[in-house]
Structure 1
């Protein structure tokens, strides 16, 4: 999906609750980060913004928020998989004054009508002063 298509899809979601599960409206939560008008202030905020990007199909943002040393050249999302809920299990470090942090989460989805859950322990670091996704382990 191209960046323009992702922006159009994201713009249709601005009046809805944010997919990240913060309880805030998308327009007041992840939309400014996706649009480049704000930076995620913490590793957990970046994790939430990345989940929302997966839910909205915004591959451009996912690639921009990936560390340069581990970022794939391209990213194709499975159109048959719909991300439905994010549960943060634990966050360590990753605060305003930190340079690294981790977030463990459960990302719930539906694929072919069947529910599923992906669990990951993700690592985040600051690159050029902003939080980016480095890598993660799936148990």
Structure 2
């Protein structure tokens, strides 16, 4: 992705000004919502390394096969857009937060959506995805 293109997460900023910051250094992620947006963008880019890094160590996919399957799926769909519904806590000073979102995509030519409330916590000083509620 060209760093001057609009970020896929829907922030209306360039990738470089938005999720590119998180993808460059996860320690620069300030909020749970910012991490969730950066994970959505990582899915659109099939950036498995970042998806793994931004996933809580206790709940992340453990096997190479699981991680490959996630990337294979991310590449197989056409990502359309992200809609953030609400964020609860998850600010820079918090240690946990919840973000509800809808990730729109087409799979095999059919519209689809992931509607999820996700929990995020700080691990090793930075935000990580924990689980879906």
TM-score (norm 1): 0.86
Question: Structure 1 residue 61 and structure 2 residue 50: aligned?
Answer: yes
SS in 2 for 1:106: strand
Task: Give SS of 2:128's match.
Answer: strand
Alignment correspondent of 1:98: 94
Distance 2:121 2:88 in 1: 12
Cα contact 1:86–1:106 (8 A) shared by 2: yes
Quote the Cα distance in structure 2 between the aligned partners of 1:86 and 1:70: 23
CA distance in 2 between counterparts of 1:20 and 1:67 reads: 21
Question: 50-59 vs 36-45, which deviates more?
Answer: 36-45
Greater helix content: 2
8 Å contact kept, 1:32–1:38: no
What's the CA shift string for 1:8-31, capped at 9, x where partnerless?
A: xxxx33121000000000011111
Q: SS of 1:61's equivalent?
A: helix
For residue 130 of structure 1, what is the aligned residue in structure 2? 126
Asked whether 1:82 is paired with 2:96, we answer no
**Runs of 4+ that moved beyond 6 A:** none
Structure 2 residue 4 is matched with structure 1 residue 15:
yes
Gaps of at least 5 residues in structure 2 are: none
Cα distance in 2 between the residues matched to 1:37 and 1:65: 7
Which 5+ residue runs of structure 1 have no aligned equivalent? Answer: 1-11
Contact 2:26 2:54 in 1 (8 A): no
Q: CA deviation at 1:38?
A: 5.2
